[in-house]
Amino acid sequence: MSILVVGSVAFDSVETPFGQVENVLGGSATYFATSASFFTDVNLVAVVGDDFPEEHLEFLRSRNIDLRGLTRTSGKTFHWKGKYGYDLNEAQTLETHLNVFESFRPEIPPEYADAEYLILANIDPDLQLEVLNQVKTPRVVACDTMNFWIASKSESLKKVIQRADFFIINEGEARQLSGESNLVKAARKILDFGAKTLIIKRGEYGVLMFRSSVFAAPAYPLEEVFDPTGAGDTFAGGFMGYLASTGDLSDDGLRRAIVFGSVMASFNVEDFSLNRLKSLQHREIEERYRNFKNLTHFQGLPLSK
């Protein structure tokens, strides 16, 4: 089953303690689509400028990502520049140039309107609502956001949350949106806003999923982390990609999807941009999934007398 993703395709310039890159492929929709493509077909809606190179388009097509919804328009492509210190959980934004993304108004091609799995990546919540009104009857809707939209358009965001099956944010955003410092209290408050399932990304500390039950998955322990840019979107891509490939929305199915998302994010941070995902093989994904299971498995207590 294919997934429809609406978000940004961009250039990133990133500096970490372990190196730096300039004008590499990035964007929320790019990371999501590439990650999800390891599990299922992906349809992408985004905008790029006339400076966007053909080699990037060829890479996306090579991943069986349908680009009929990708618009090329006159101007420059969205460009983000950021820097990380040794605390790789937090990026310092140095420059943001929206360029053609500033006037982005997503139009869903007729071929995509019957999408059963929809991910609304980090864009204006008013635009997310417009997309929801263009897609007929999606079986599963997931959405992401950021601190800027929480501060400036919280009411629109809450309308999106009420229509989403999965609301995916990081822990700082969860605290900001809820006004609660404790993550459990924050989660309960956001669920009260109408979220059916809340997924909180915690960077190197893993992931928490809140619904009728709570599930926690650790981050995979790595010796080398080069660039965390796009890790959250890569997580969401693995999570939704697995769900779309299986159709299993049971509690066990969601837990497996969380781990697959964590697996994909763990590969993403091993190199800059999408370089690690470009060389990634399915056998590596399966092996790391098994390692995750061993990492978290423990025996129950024996029956007391």
Residue with tokens 């007929």: 136
| Whether 87 contacts 228, CB under 8 Å | no
Could you tell me if residue 301 is inside a domain?
A: no
CA distance 254 to 209: 9
- As beta bridge partners, residue 252 has none
At residue 74, the pLDDT reads: 97
Active site annotation includes 165? no
- As beta bridge partners, residue 255 has none
Residue positions counted in the chain? 305
At residue 90, the pLDDT reads: 80
Question: 266 is in which domain, residue-wise?
Answer: 3-296
Could you tell me if residue 175 is inside a domain?
A: yes
Measure Cα distances from 110 to 43, 58, 166, 205, 212 in Å.
12, 23, 24, 41, 36
Could you tell me if residue 304 is inside a domain?
A: no
Which CATH number characterizes residue 46's domain?
A: 3.40.1190.20
Which position among 66, 124, 227, 233 bears the catalytic label?
Answer: 233
At residue 223, the pLDDT reads: 87
Could you tell me if residue 305 is inside a domain?
A: no
Could you tell me if residue 303 is inside a domain?
A: no
At residue 305, the pLDDT reads: 67
Describe the strand order of the beta sheet including 166-170 as a list of residue ranges.
Answer: 65-73, 42-49, 3-6, 117-120, 140-144, 166-170, 197-201, 207-210, 214-217
Q: What are the pLDDT tens digits along the chain (305 aa)?
A: 889 999 999 999 999 999 999 999 999 999 999 999 999 999 999 999 999 999 999 999 999 999 999 999 999 999 999 999 988 878 889 999 999 999 999 999 999 999 999 999 989 999 999 999 999 999 999 999 988 899 999 999 999 999 999 999 999 999 999 999 999 999 999 999 998 999 999 988 999 999 989 999 999 999 889 999 999 999 999 999 999 999 999 999 999 999 999 999 999 999 999 999 999 999 999 999 999 999 888 888 887 76
- Reported pTM: 0.95
Domains: count for the chain: 1
